[in-house]
Amino acid sequence: MQLLEDRVLKDGVVREGSVLKVDSFLNHQLDIPLFVEMGREFARIFDGCEINKVLTIEASGIAIACFAAQQIGCPVVFAKKSRTKNIAGDLWHSKVESYTHGKIYDVVVSRDFLGPNDRVLIIDDFLANGAALTGLINMVQQSGATLVGAGIAIEKAFQPGGDLLRSRGVRIESLVRIKSMSPETGIEFC
Ligand code: 5GP
């Protein structure tokens, strides 16, 4: 998606540890016209897939998921990072290691909001090692829902998550794919 590539080049900041900061338009301050276009693009890519639920993970995936769901015409469910150790029986749950914080979270979704009648599109802001996506896919599988695919705003294609999950048959569509990046040389797209 040219608009997003241009914005990443203009305002993205590459940090040590292969972290791209996009706080000025995607992760902290949100550029709403850009989100509208991203939502339209996800709806176009997954047109005809009969999606009835968009699933994401708090916090940064939620806004993007909302714009996609508005275009698709379905609700958003977001997985919550649980703070309690006792996992109640009415929840789907999974463990996810956070890329940016290094912590392992229990993430949960109520069984009321994800089940066998759902056709699910997963949306997230970044794909790096694939931990967040794997955790969400895990909950879709537990629930008996059908996974249509995953829509990612920014895939860091030099990290293994995308290849790994595609090799397992997951349809992953990323709006931009970064081939390489470093604070010294900047960003190169695939
Ligand atoms: P993964 O689980 O695929 O390793 O990482 C994806 C998750 O980590 C995303 O939900 C995103 O919030 C965060 N993340 C991964 N890489 C980056 C990055 O370079 N920049 C930012 N801002 N978040 C990232």
CA distance 84 to 138: 20
Does ligand 1 have an atom closer than 6 angstroms to the CB of 134?
no
Average pLDDT over residues 89-114: 92
pTM here is 0.96
Cβ of 125 less than 6 Å from ligand 1? yes
How far, in Å, is the centroid of ligand 1 from the Cα of 118? 26
Q: Would the CB of 117 count as within 6 Å of ligand 1? A: no
147, two tokens: 């996974």
Q: Point out the least confidently predicted range of 11-20, 86-95, 129-138, 177-186.
A: 86-95
- pLDDT band for position 84 (cuts 50, 70, 90): low
* Atom in ligand 1 nearest the alpha carbon of residue 26: 22
Contact 129, 163 (CB under 8 A): no
pLDDT for 89: 74
Per-residue model confidence as pLDDT tens digits over 164-187 = 999 999 999 999 999 999 999 999
93 alpha carbon – ligand 1 mean position (Å): 20
Going by pLDDT thresholds of 50, 70 and 90, the confidence category of residue 82 is confident
Q: 149: alpha, beta or left, given left = phi > 0 and alpha = psi -120 to 50?
A: left
